[in-house]
């Protein structure tokens, strides 16, 4: 199931394939050509995209529903140029703490890259990046509500850490910037749960996740604006 000539998700192809039944995601294909597809071979852990004849949507766009399900890429290092950006389109169906939407987060500080999750308090979405000096830098907002689409984006570098929630710069706490480089450990990227053990599962929807190095000319604000122009989250 791919895309239409206009670049939209091919809803007609999905409907033809699923009919009046259910549809689950086995593979979410990487669009960059790098082959970092997110897959799940265990049927009971596959997130759902089609439910008894209808596609799951959020704000009118196709959405993948995660209810303690997850998808994994093969391991890769996300930050080859010491400066990395990411953007996520997501919605929570409940606000239980520590739900992970996306993570590359190992069991020790040297293998921890980043996680996007609900924080300890149940209305804060945060991005968290670990640096090679052991420090971590986190962002948080205080306005998350259940069943509400949002876009969160962040840039991590040696000189700066910025995070935006629905287009607004959010509070950055803990650790320090300018004294270390963002980690670049090879790790599985997991959509829908913490990647080390499958816990802290997302209860909600993911529509898009983008991670890109700053070796290109693509700017964090520009990409975030383009994503919002499509999804109209804010």
pLDDT in tens, 117-134: 998 777 789 999 999 988
pLDDT value at 191 more than 90? yes
**Segment among 79-83, 90-94, 148-152 with least mean pLDDT:** 79-83
pLDDT in tens, 39-78: 999 999 999 999 999 999 999 999 999 999 999 999 999 9
Chain centroid to Cα 38, Å, comes to 12
């Amino acid at each position: 199931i791919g895309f239409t000539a206009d670049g939209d998700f091919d809803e007609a192809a999905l409907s033809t394939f699923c009919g009046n039944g259910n549809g689950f995601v086995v593979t979410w294909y990487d669009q960059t050509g790098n082959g970092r597809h997110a897959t799940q071979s265990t049927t009971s852990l596959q997130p759902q995209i089609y439910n008894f004849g209808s596609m799951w949507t959020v704000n009118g766009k196709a959405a993948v529903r995660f209810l303690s399900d997850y998808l994994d890429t093969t391991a890769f290092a996300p930050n080859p140029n010491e400066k990395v950006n990411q953007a996520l389109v997501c919605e929570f169906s409940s606000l239980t703490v520590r739900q992970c939407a996306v993570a590359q987060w190992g069991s020790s500080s040297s293998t921890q890259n980043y996680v996007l999750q609900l924080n300890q308090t149940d209305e804060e979405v945060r991005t968290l990046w670990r640096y090679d000096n052991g420090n971590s830098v986190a962002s948080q907002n205080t306005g998350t509500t259940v069943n509400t689409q949002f876009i969160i984006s962040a840039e991590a570098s040696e000189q700066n850490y910025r995070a935006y929630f629905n287009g607004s710069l959010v509070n950055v706490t803990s650790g320090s910037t300018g004294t270390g480089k963002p980690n670049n450990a090879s790790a599985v990227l997991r959509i829908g749960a913490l990647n080390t053990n499958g816990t802290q599962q997302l209860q909600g929807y993911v529509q898009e996740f983008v991670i890109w190095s700053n070796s290109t000319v693509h700017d964090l604000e520009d990409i975030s604006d383009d994503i919002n122009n499509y999804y109209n989250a804010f």
